[in-house]
Amino acid sequence: MEIRGPMLLPARREDIELATLDGLTLVGELALPEDGDPVATLVTLHPLPTAGGFMDSHILRKAAGRLPALADLAVLRFNTRGTTSPRGTSEGTFDGGRAEAFDVAAAMDLVRERGLPRPWLVGWSFGTELALKYGRDHPVEGAVLLSPPLHRTTDAEVAAWAGDPRRLVVLVPEFDDYLRPEAAAERFASVPDAVLIPVEGGKHLWVGENQTRRVLTEIVAAINTDALPLASEWDGSVVPEG
């Protein structure tokens, strides 16, 4: 069976709640490999909630649906404050990336409490702003940035990653609505070790199976190269979403 669309491959999936230092409860899900321990952990940060972003934004949902089985990765998804998805609504109110620092910290607290290995931040759009602003405050191995708009991240916050031993991998769509490859090269020039990957034909929302596979492949290439190439077919059980 071809792996595509909203297909759930086998995994241990658990609804979780995160407690923030300012007293909020955030809702989310942790997906683990069905058998054995994960080799690394994706802490995902979703796109802008005021523009429809949430923990089920399709790339993050597909990462959780596929990568525990295909790449032995744990995938943590959650709704930042004030964000609603089918999983539920996280308490609080959207704060434009400021108080969301507490949300990132709460997710990392769960990673530590569960003993999840080798955490990486995977941010998409608004989520990249959170990763850049607050990722260096936590014991992560690196960050993968998908379609970074750099609207809320200052030049100083970007430059702070220069010389940091943690890896910064940046996927920039050729036809992004906000930051295209040439402009991204200028904005990230202060971080010479950052890996900028222009994605030919890519768009901000990564619509379509080809773009989905490209993004998931680049995430796995950064974190667990032993799992490459990612399988495109599955001969076991699946759970259609819906």
How far is 93 from 110, CA to CA, in rounded Å?
21
Cα 215-221-222 angle, rounded to 5 deg: 95
How confident is the prediction along the chain (242 residues), in pLDDT tens digits per residue? 999 998 999 999 999 999 999 999 999 999 999 999 999 999 999 999 999 999 999 999 999 999 999 999 999 999 999 999 999 999 999 999 999 999 999 999 999 999 999 999 999 999 999 999 999 999 999 999 999 999 999 999 999 999 999 999 999 999 999 999 999 999 999 999 999 999 999 999 999 999 999 999 999 999 999 999 999 999 887 875 54
How far is 26 from 46, CA to CA, in rounded Å?
13
How far is 106 from 146, CA to CA, in rounded Å?
22
Residue spans per domain, the chain: 12-221
pLDDT for 162 = 97
Per-residue exposure over 183-196, b if at least 16 CB sit within 10 Å of its own CB, e if not: ebeebbeebeebbb
How far is 87 from 95, CA to CA, in rounded Å?
21
pLDDT for 241 = 52
Class of domain 12-221: alpha beta
pLDDT for 240 = 57
Whether pTM exceeds 0.95: yes
How far is 115 from 137, CA to CA, in rounded Å?
18
